[in-house]
Amino acid sequence: MFSRLKEDIACIFERDPAARNTLEILTSYPGLHAVLMHRVTHWLWGHKFYWLARVLSHLTRWITGVEIHPGAVIGRRFFIDHGMGVVIGETAVIGDDCTLYHGVTLGGTSWDKGKRHPTLGNNVVVGAGAKVLGPIVIADGARVGSNAVVVKPVPAGATAIGVPSRLVESAVKGDDTRREAMANKMGFDAYGATQDAPDPVAHAINCMLDHIHVVDKRMQFMCEAIKHVSGEQLDIELPSLDSCEIASTAEELSKLESEKSEASDDPPTSLGR
């Protein structure tokens, strides 16, 4: 029991820069208090002292603001930061080294008996206000962004954001050295937010714009070929479509502005539309 407590205190020091000393953690961290009481209520639940387990769980919620059902299974080094408003359902399963922020719900979507709450793998971070609903699996190393609503499984190492949630990819692919250095330094991504995660909607629109430019150029070549063969002059004038891209991060916006500035210094070119 004391070894588990030492692990809990150590993980708080690692993940919360506001933690100053052990006494402060033991006396003023409601997330730690909720986890410690859950171990008691979970033991009572496993030995069929259901009423007593629920009463103690209710008192813990009143004191800490964290509601953990006694039937939930929680692994080692589990950290609830701030704690207020966290709800963990009866059949939820949480792996080792997971982090939850305030307002997180691991809830169910059915009134049927059986497995109806999420399963979190190891090293999962769920950001503030996120809702993970149903008997889905959030695989090892996954991240759930703040205020996301997750109703579908999240694969290992992925980040889910939005309502309903969608998966995002790293904006910098193949840069494993920087990612590993950050992981070794912090141990987790605060609030499930990654700095190199672009907006997937902006990415999809940018891909469509690139495709439109290619199609437009092909259409131009086809029109010129038809003009050359038939000698007819086409009267339809298409509006010009300048190159554009939607920025989803501050870094991308700065890059786009510098590219536009460089392009304005170049001599103008015509596509011959």
102 is catalytic: yes
3-state DSSP of 174-193: CCHHHHHHHHHHHCCCHHHC
* Residues in a beta bridge with 143: 125, 159
Catalytic choice (33, 38, 42, 102): 102
Query: Can you give the C-alpha Rg of the chain in angstroms?
Result: 26
Provide the annotated active-site residues.
102
